[in-house]
Structure 1
Amino acid sequence: MNPSLLSTLSRNWWLLLLRGLFAIMFGIAAFSWPGLTLALLVLMWGIYAGLDGLFAIIAAIKGGTPAPRWWLALVGLLGLGAAAVCIVNPGIAIAVIIMIIGWTSIIRGIFEIVGAIGLRKEIEGEWWLILSGLFSILLGVIFVTRPGAGALAMIWLIAAMAIVAGIAMVLLSLRLRRHAKQAG
């Protein structure tokens, strides 16, 4: 590692500590209030889609972009429509997102299994790819048939990832703090 980079990281170890602590708190909050977390994620995405749509419409009106004006206007209107759905009826937005994830997972799983069968003479351990494909299909079927459970699983995965990443950042920050003390 570059000595100046290590020195800079060591001096600012506390920033990494704060990031880690906030990630852990977010993960715990997401586990504690999964419905609220999901609603806030949909609302935040809705706000993003609305602003993106608004900026696309402004770009269509002003012109001077490489994209055709009609395309920008269409993208803008779709963004505003998606924002409206997310804000007015977040349940529908959640269901659509979960369905997209579910069908994508099913299709991916099928391709993984087909790929593994095609590669079975070329590689060893192709059954791992088949197992991965079966797992993808199973997950997709759960998301499509039970979107509520799929949404909850998605929040739990995000929460778990936040906690694990937060713990890793906290541990790294403590190592950097020790390094800073040793360096002087």
Structure 2
Amino acid sequence: MRLIAEETTRHWWSYAVRGVAAVLFGVLAIVWPLMTLLTLVVLFGAFAVISGVVTLVSAMRGGDPAESRPWALASGALSIVAGAVAWLWPGITTFALLMLIAAFAVLVGAVEIAAALRRRGNGETEWMYLAYGGLAVLFGILMFLWPGSGALALTWLIGIFAIVYGAALLVLAYRIRDVRHKGTAGTAPHAV
């Protein structure tokens, strides 16, 4: 087994933070399915901005291999832009929100898949990058194909996707942290 690059394993926490944010967003969307559209827009904006900031910080601190850094920077920037759009225009219609979230999911998913393909030789967690990228693209495409679904179904669909996506990120973070722990066992601790 090839070890994941040291720079990636040092920033396992960035995947965990993004995963927790996605799961919290998903749970809130399911627990309060009749929340107003404005609340859903604000929650989506918060999730997208948090995810984007953490991704950018991790990429700038060297949390991704050098060849994957541009993809991480693009993913973080797209997330922040999507969150900012949601906050700057909170009165958008349900259809516009659906299209914004669908575009966000497809774009970020495509960037994640591209980054996973670039990391091909970095270890056995590659499938998790592909999995959460693929989930994001699939979710976005489904939202583009069926935009006329009701607000309640939309809220539940968004919530379920966010929980599954967040869980995939948490599993990935755990696996990367585990690889880091095994790789540094018996050596002096590294400064993060």
TM-score range, shorter chain: 0.3 to 0.5
| CA radius of gyration, larger in | 1
More helix by share: 1
TM-score normalised to the size of structure 1?
0.41
TM-score normalised to the size of structure 2?
0.40
